[in-house]
Every structure is written in structure tokens, then in C-alpha cells.
Structure 1
Amino acid sequence: MRAVQITEFGGPEVMRLVDLPDPVAGDGQVLVEVDRAGVNYGDTHNVENSYLAPAKLPLIPGGEVIGRTAEGRRVIALIDSGGYASKVVAAPERLFDVPEDISSGDALALICQGTTAWHILKTSARIQPGESVVVHAAAGGVGSLAVQLAKAFGAGTVIATASTEDKRKLALDLGADVAVDGAPEGLAERLREANGGKRIDVVLEMVGGPVFDDSLSVLAPFGRIVAYGSAGRVQPTPVLPAKLMRGSQSIVGFWLIDCLRNPGALIQEPFDQMVELVRAGTLRPQIGGEYPMSASRTAHEDLRARRTVGKLVLDPAL
């Protein structure tokens, strides 16, 4: 089979297209012929071995694919690694059925970015009707869906941040009430101004460093900041419990891997509900690029350089 493999940790330059023996499904495994592989920001951490779970060499990156089983069942498979390949094996409990009328790109956007956006809003932030919400990186895979879901869940003012005018326009087109520059300098002031001078109820944060610090500084009493990434690769200032106590504020972490402890309830059910929102036109996944698998290095370079929007996918046939 064709696959992208790394034999040393580093940046996109360590990724190589290779031919490998086909995987063989063992007991309790299912072989999936891959139609498209999803690219996630976490993959860039995985390649350099800086992710939450340590990686081992040699490594085929990628944690999600869509394809078909030998019986013709159309599924998404969530795997620990091995997704950048034309074939994968997966545990049956990590296979999720995909309707035929949903495109491969849309399905991949919903299964990881969509369920992440769903849970950081509903499960972690416990969003309430009328609350103000800041969505950082609002043109990205999670952010572009979180803007739309926040509105669908009854949020009041949705404030999007993004690095370019085009990305801010996209966030507004997707339903954000206000879109501001996400650069750290002066961010706290821009966020409060965007919310009419008031503090913010919920912040969805995946940058880290000073963006996290400024986001925490504008939280309202009983406000929640949900940390679900560290794209800036810089840690925020440590937070003392007394600081949170003074405003009855919360910092909540989220990692989609934890949802695999109960995949039916925590992944398949939100996925199915989002499929219905897509069919109704309420939710529009953004496919920011479909790359040949031979150009996976370029996909990572574009993602790390913030040149992309929405969900990126790889075609293993090219």
C-alpha cells in the first residue's frame, strides 16, 4: 500500500511517501480501504513528537480516515496512527457509520473537528442561551464549526478571532456577530470592545501563550475558558487557584481521545445530530483543501503557516 511514513521526528520535511505491505486485520480488527484521510493540527505535533501522547518510530501519521470495509460498509475509522495510507485496520468500536449523501470531506470535518466543537460548547463550557462566546481561530476546522454550533445552541454574541481579513469575513459569513484580529497585542481590549465593553462568558481557546492569558483576563464572573489545543506552541502564564476563585471562573480542558471511552454516546450521537444539521443547511463544514497524499508535506506546511481554512483532507490515490 501507499503510505506516508516518518523515521525521525521533526517538521514536515521528515514525511516520506513509501510503499509498505498491506496491513492485515487481526482478531477484533477490521480492514478499511481508505477513500480520504483527514489532516488535523494534532498531526503536526505528532510528527515532531510534541503531542499529548508520545509517538513511536517508525510512524504513519493520521488518526482518521473514511472508506469502506470488505462488506461495503461506509465508515469513518478513528485510529491511534496510520491514517495517511491507502489501507488501515481499526477496532470495530472505533468505526462510525456515514450516510451515502454526506461527502467524504464533510464527514471527516464532522467526526473530529465537529465533535470537538460540539463537546467544548456543550459538555465542557455548558453553554447557556444568550451567553457571549469567543471563538479563536474561527476560520479553522474546529472554529468554523464552533461559530455555527454556538449560534445553533442559542449563544448571544459570538465573537470570532482570525488572522486575516478574508478569514474574518468567512467567520462573519458563518454567523459570527463580530470578527476581530486574533493577534496577541491588544487582544483583551478588542474582545471587550466587541462585546460592548462587557466581559465574556465563554472562550474557546487553542492557541496558548499570551492569547490564553488575555482570554482569561476578560472572563466574566462564572465565565469558562475551554483549552483544547496549543497551536502557538507557547505555554500560558501559570494560573493560581485564588485568581479563579475571585471571579468564580473555570478553566476546562478537552481532548477528543477521551470521548473514545464511550464512542457511541460521545462521538456517533453528536455526529448523527450534526449530519441532520448539515442536511437542514444549518451547518456548513468548510473544506479548505484536498491534497494528494504525495503532497502531505505541503498540507502540513500550509496548516502550520496558517494559510488554510476549515478541514484539510488527503487523497491516498494521488
Structure 2
Amino acid sequence: MRAVQLDQFGPAENLKLVDLPILEPIGDEVRIKVEVAGIVFADTQMRRGDYIHLPPLPFVPGREVSGTIEKVGAKVKHLQPGERVMAFIPKGGYAEYALAKEDAVVILPDHVKHSQGIVYLINLRIAYLNYYTFGKTQPNETILIHAGAGGIGTLITQIAKRHADNTVIALSSSDEKAAYCKGNGADYCINYRKTDYVQEVLRITDGEGVDISFNSVGGPTFRTDPLAIRPLGRWVIYGYAAGKDLLEPYETIMPKSLTLSINSVYTVLNREEFRQATDFLMEWLQNEKLDSVSKTFKLEEIVKAHHWIENQRSVGKIAIVL
């Protein structure tokens, strides 16, 4: 099978298109013929060796797949060949075939295309966990969303506007992305490269600050974000795209008595909270208006795809189409 393999941590050019044997599912595994594989910023961190969960080298990156079950292991109980499914896997997604544990697989509803389902497979569950479980967001609160045009930021906005009528302030790195955020439902859209986002947030909130900030960016925003949050507000950190070494809680968090949540989806994968997020995913796929992948790449274009993400060009969800 064709696959993208990483032999050494480093730049995108280390990703190589190779031919590998098709793996056999064992035990509770299923083999999926991949139609669409999601690409996320964390894939670039994993490629650089800067991620909390790193498989041993060499490995095939990619953690999101949507396709059709081709073969099942002997201990699989509820899935069968021919079913259209999606799966969140530790590795192996950038390939024509991928293995997934049965409990990591969700059935794709008949009316949902692979290019739609992959948008929500993990991003919606992370958005749900951030919004409800970690953020404990309440109706009518004002929230700040970093990377508002990204895959997860897009969905936090949609949850906030469709389910709770929150006031949403979305941050982005360009006017194009700000326009996307506006079209996605955000009430205020700030291009932080042109405007001091803290001062703009304080202007919008009459000097009070937001109730919650959802931050996947890190870096310098670890220092500035508390200034944009009201006293006794909440700060939900779920990534560090711009770096993770500037968090100084005693200087910035304690004076405002902020509640801080630094979370990882891996913490809850086998917990009731993730099952609730999966139920929310399935209800969303059945009942909500669905978006499709906004940008696609071929398997042989994976280096270009990683550059696309790292250069902050991505809007919405990007994916490999096989």
C-alpha cells in the first residue's frame, strides 16, 4: 500500500511516500480502506518530535481516518466488512489502509460523506470537551476563541452560537480568516496581527474581560490572555502551537483568581466524558447542517500540506483524499 512514513523527526521534507505491506488486523482491530485522512496541527508537532505522545520511529503519521471496513480481527464483536466508519487512531492515517481498535471506531451515518465526517470526528469532540467539560460554559457568557478559523475554533463557535447564544470573540491571523470567522457566526473578529487583541477585547466588554478564553496557541498569549479575562473567569488551554514555555501562572493568574484548565484529549479517551462527547458527535451528524473539508491534498502532497498548516494558511479542516 502507499503510505507516508517518517524516519526521522524534523522538517516536513522528512515525510516520505513509500510502499508498505498491508497490515493484518488482529484481536479487536479492524482494517479500514481509507477514503479521507484528516490533517491537524498536532501532526506537525509530532513530525518535529515536539508532542506529548510520540510513536517510535519509523512510523506512519495521521490520527484521523474515514473509510470502509475491509477486514476485522477475530475478537471484533460489533463491526463488519463493508461498513462506512471513522476512527481516531494513534498513528497510521496517512496511508491507503489503516488499523483501528474497535472501540475507536464510529459508524458514519448513511447521509454523511467521508469529506464531511472527518471535519467532526475528533475536532467536534475536543470542542465539546473544551466548551462543556473543561470550560463549563454557561448560556449568554462572552467567550474568546484563539485560532477561531481553525478546525476546533470553528466548532467551538458553532456550539456557542447554535446551542447557547454566547457572545463570541474570535481571533485570527489575517483579514481573510477574520471574514471566515464572521461567516461562521462569531460576533466579533479580531486580526491580532493588526490589532492589540487584549485592548480590543476590553473595549468590547466595557473593560471587564471575557468569561472564558479557549487557547490552543500558547507562546506569547500565555502572558497576555489573563489580561483579557475577567476576575474569577476561566482559562481553557488545549494546545501550544506557538510554544509552551511562557506560562507564568503566579504573575498573571493569581491576581484575578482565574480557574485554569490545561487539558489533553488523551486524558479522557476511556472515560465517560469522552463517551458523552461521542454521543454529541453522533447527534450533531444526524441533526446539524454539516460542513465539508475546506482544503484537500493528495497523499503525495503531504509535504505541501504540512507547510500549508505551519504557514497559518489553513481555514477550517484540511485533509488527504485518497
Deviations 1:158-208 (A, max 9, x none): 101111111111111111111112249722112212333321101110111
Deviations 1:114-157 (A, max 9, x none): 11111101111000111100011111111111111111231432
The answer on whether the counterparts of 1:144 and 1:285 sit within 8 Å (CA) in structure 2 is no
Quote the Cα distance in structure 2 between the aligned partners of 1:72 and 1:43: 29
- Aligned residue number for residue 257 of structure 2: 248
- Aligned residue number for residue 17 of structure 1: 17
Are 1:31 and 2:31 an aligned pair?
Answer: yes
Quote the Cα distance in structure 1 between the aligned partners of 2:285 and 2:297: 24
Are 1:287 and 2:293 an aligned pair?
Answer: yes
Give the alignment of 1:155-194 within 5 angstroms: 155-183=165-193, 186-194=196-204
Are 1:111 and 2:121 an aligned pair?
Answer: yes
Q: For structure 2, list consecutive stretches of 5 or more residues without a partner in the other structure.
A: 71-80
Secondary structure at the aligned position of 1:67 is classed as: strand
- Aligned residue number for residue 151 of structure 2: 141
- Aligned residue number for residue 41 of structure 1: 41
**Aligned partner of 1:75: which letter?**
V
- Aligned residue number for residue 305 of structure 2: 299
Quote the Cα distance in structure 2 between the aligned partners of 1:139 and 1:19: 35
Percent identity, aligned pairs only, is 27
The answer on whether the counterparts of 1:209 and 1:235 sit within 8 Å (CA) in structure 2 is yes
Tell me the CA shift for residue 38 of structure 1.
0.7
Give the alignment of 1:52-201 within 5 angstroms: 52-70=52-70, 71-183=81-193, 186-201=196-211
Secondary structure at the aligned position of 2:221 is classed as: helix
* Large movers: runs of 4+ above 4 Å: none
The answer on whether the counterparts of 1:75 and 1:97 sit within 8 Å (CA) in structure 2 is yes
39-48 vs 101-110, greater mean Cα deviation: 101-110
The answer on whether the counterparts of 1:290 and 1:314 sit within 8 Å (CA) in structure 2 is yes
The answer on whether the counterparts of 1:201 and 1:220 sit within 8 Å (CA) in structure 2 is yes
Secondary structure at the aligned position of 1:119 is classed as: helix
Quote the Cα distance in structure 2 between the aligned partners of 1:97 and 1:189: 45
53-62 vs 186-195, greater mean Cα deviation: 186-195
Secondary structure at the aligned position of 1:122 is classed as: helix
Aligned length: 311
**Aligned partner of 1:181: which letter?**
N
Are 1:262 and 2:268 an aligned pair?
Answer: no
Q: For structure 1, list consecutive stretches of 5 or more residues without a partner in the other structure.
A: none
Tell me the CA shift for residue 18 of structure 1.
0.5
- Aligned residue number for residue 272 of structure 1: 282
Q: CA RMSD in A?
A: 1.8
- Aligned residue number for residue 223 of structure 1: 233
Tell me the CA shift for residue 34 of structure 1.
0.8
36-45 vs 105-114, greater mean Cα deviation: 105-114
- Aligned residue number for residue 74 of structure 2: none
| Cα separation, partners in 2 of 1:80 and 1:157, compared to 1, 3 Å | same
Secondary structure at the aligned position of 1:261 is classed as: coil
Quote the Cα distance in structure 1 between the aligned partners of 2:27 and 2:163: 42
The answer on whether the counterparts of 2:142 and 2:168 sit within 8 Å (CA) in structure 1 is yes
The answer on whether the counterparts of 1:112 and 1:256 sit within 8 Å (CA) in structure 2 is no
Deviations 1:54-95 (A, max 9, x none): 331001000110111132111111111111011111111111
| Cα separation, partners in 2 of 1:210 and 1:16, compared to 1, 3 Å | same
**Aligned partner of 2:5: which letter?**
Q
| Cα separation, partners in 2 of 1:118 and 1:267, compared to 1, 3 Å | closer
**Aligned partner of 2:269: which letter?**
L
